Amino acid sequence: MSKILSIRALVLVMFLSPSAQAQITAAELDQLSRDIQPQVVEWRRWFHQNPELGNREFNTAKKITEILTGMGLEPKTGIAHTGIVAIIKGGLPGPMVAIRTDMDALPVTEATGLAFASTVTSEYNGKPTGVMHACGHDTHMAMVLGTASVLIAVQDQLPGSVMLIFQPAEEGPPPGEEGGAQLMLKEGIWTANKPEAVFGLHVGLGQPSGALAVRPGPAMAAVDSFSLTVKGKQTHGARPWNGVDPIVVSAQIILGLQTIESRQVDVTLAPSIITVGRINGGIRNNIIPDSVEMEGTIRSFDPAMREQIHMRIERTARGIAQGAGADIEFKLLDGYPATVNNEELTARMMPTLRRVAGEGSLLTAQPQTGAEDFSFFANETPGLFVFLSNYAPGADLATAPSNHSPLFDMYEPSMETGVRVFSNLVVDYLQGN
């Protein structure tokens, strides 16, 4: 009698086990992705035509909330100013994973000539400007909404839950404000319910037509900025020996900073970049000014090297200035850490990405010296960030517009691939495939 009960118990356990249920297939997800593609295109074009700058994505958030609510979800709004979180609860027990998209546009005046081109204008740093989705965030939002539709269609078979994260201010909040991924985490979106993994995707960034690209480990650089004021002594341009010329000192500092990457840190460990992007000093050709201001950006991949570069910039600048009798004021603004793809998660999901990409279309991405605040999410839980080409077949990478260009555009059929990427990553992870 006990043997019969044991057999019956085993059969019951197998019946109730998620692994024993009919699994969601890749073919099913691909068909659902094809079905939702026209709607994804429509959503993308709405977002493209109605862009908003960071921390000001009010109409964008309203549109996303309406769409998610129409799908039967209960989005939480107003996170980090305009961010949104919604959870798709699967019909079977299992872990939770997250999908993240950014929402904000750039202060760029569009020149694509598209029928749905942005004509929006705003103000940035006190100056009037056009506003454009010149980095593909419009496509990211549309693809995540498409993925939500796909996953809701298979919700009863889903062994776990999916958190959808719509994040504002990826390009950085306005001066003096907090924002982005860091603020969403600070406000506690993962305090009570932290996902096992988080997935992100970015279009463009130089990937060949039709390609997916990924790399384990550091995928995008850390970004920090600095401001540096060189303080000299004003004098007549005809008698420089009566003062201290901060313009000459600044020129020496700019050249000296370039020796940090080439001579002061281990170039075999990871690449790094120091760029001075703004310099301002003087008002007349024959007056040596009192001071010169400059601002720059720092890109790095290794955390220890990042700290070393920060220290060496100030040390190098101060030493050069003191040698000339000048002084400096130095300010460092920490930005985003490097975006690092968890190596175990990346290895686990590679078969999924190969299947979605197709033969020969999954590439090993080069490290990107651009930065992404997806990095804050990936620092909290294992993350995987994938790149998707935005170019039409046959496009010449040497001449095609890049991210942040006023001519940047998306080859819309590839958005179906993006929906397939997200859907298959989520389902394969939750089903343990």
Active centre residues (catalytic)? 336, 412
- Which of 172, 132, 198 has the alpha carbon at shortest distance from 410? 132
Joined together, the tokens standing for residue 412 give 């819309």
Q: Nearest 10 degrees: CA dihedral of 166, 167, 171, 176?
A: 150
| Residue 150 DSSP symbol | H
- Which of 216, 143, 198, 203 has the alpha carbon at shortest distance from 365? 216
Place of tokens 């790094």: 272
d(CA 121, CA 132): 9
d(CA 329, CA 58): 38
- Which of 220, 174, 184 has the alpha carbon at shortest distance from 201? 220
How remote is the C-alpha of 302 from its chain's centroid?
Answer: 18
| Residue 226 DSSP symbol | E
244 phi, psi to nearest 5 deg: -125, 115
Q: How is 40-101 classified by DSSP, letter by letter?
A: HHHHHHHHHHS---TT--HHHHHHHHHHHHHTT---EEEETTTEEEEEEE-SEEEEEEEEEE
DSSP SS3 for 322: helix
Q: How is 325-367 classified by DSSP, letter by letter?
A: T-EEEEEEEEEEPPEEE-HHHHHHHHHHHHHHH-TT-EEEPPP
DSSP SS3 for 172: coil
